[in-house]
Amino acid sequence: MSEMEFHEAANIFPLDEAFIADLAEHIREHGLHVAIETLGGKVLDGRHRYLACGRAGVEPRFVEVQAKCPVEHVKVRNLKRWHASASVRAMGAAEAEELQARYRREAEGRQRLSMGRGVKGQIKGSDLNGEAGQSRDRIGKDFNVSGVSVQRAMKVCKDGIPELKEAVRNRRMSVGKAAEVAALSAEAQREEVNRPKKKRKSKAKAPKATPLAAGSDPKLAKARIKAFDLCREAINVLSRIPTTNIYRGEALQVVKKWLKDNP
């Protein structure tokens, strides 16, 4: 299988090595069910399927798509099924915004060139031109992050060294911290990225409830002790969800919803 390039818009969403490995096993056993989408001969959507096919030794199937705005195309295909930390989503939003801004500038350049050759009037707005007024708040909403987070991520993309960007994508540094580091020299940024991560100090455990804390009623004291014991047990269970699990955030949202519905 000849190696194909990935479209720059596809790279807004980082690859998941664990998912590729699992998908390769599935494709080896069941084959490829969904064709890989390409644009201009480059993989636009389906990088995981493409790489998994290579590992499984299965010939991939491709379909060329007509996407007026590649960024919007991959956003529609991936956003709903993408589970990542807020910092990683902010980086994706910043990269999407930068690409869209570049596409708009290129479209405007082609428009001016056409007008300079004698084309009268203005070219009607395309999908790309329609994105000109999209604010960072709006694209942040698409990626479920604030406009401020997108602004910080854009600072990292613009001034950060590659290692700093990867530190955010790999969840070794928050986008807020990375934005501060991006203001430093390249050498200083590299030192910050390679600085050993400080171990968090374990929080002192709350003392077990005592009858005195619940007043003089023994039944209330016993109920309070049981409530806190179960609470600590629940926290211990939730803390066992690996931070690398891509569904961790979604799972915790279920807990948050339950707490909201059961005050």
Residue ranges per structural domain of the chain: 10-80, 84-194, 211-261
DSSP string, 194-249: HSPPPPPPPPPPPPPP-GGGG-S-HHHHHHHHHHHHHHHHHHHHHTTS-TT-TTHH
Q: Which fold has domain 10-80?
A: 3.90.1530
- Quick check: 68 and 102 in contact, CB under 8 A? no
CA atoms within 13 A on the CB side of 42: 11
Q: Tell me, what's the pLDDT at 136?
A: 80
Q: Tell me, what's the pLDDT at 126?
A: 44
**Nearest CA to 108 among 142, 140, 131, 141?**
131
Token digits of residue 204: 């002192």
- Quick check: 50 and 36 in contact, CB under 8 A? yes
Q: Tell me, what's the pLDDT at 247?
A: 73
- Quick check: 231 and 225 in contact, CB under 8 A? no
Q: Tell me, what's the pLDDT at 88?
A: 93
Q: Summarize pLDDT for 123-179 with one digit per residue, the tens.
A: 444 444 444 335 688 888 989 999 899 999 999 999 999 999 999 998 899 999 999
Q: Tell me, what's the pLDDT at 211?
A: 44
Task: Show the low-confidence residues of the chain (pLDDT under 50).
Answer: 120-133, 209-214
Q: Tell me, what's the pLDDT at 207?
A: 53
Q: Tell me, what's the pLDDT at 240?
A: 75
pTM for the model stands at 0.63
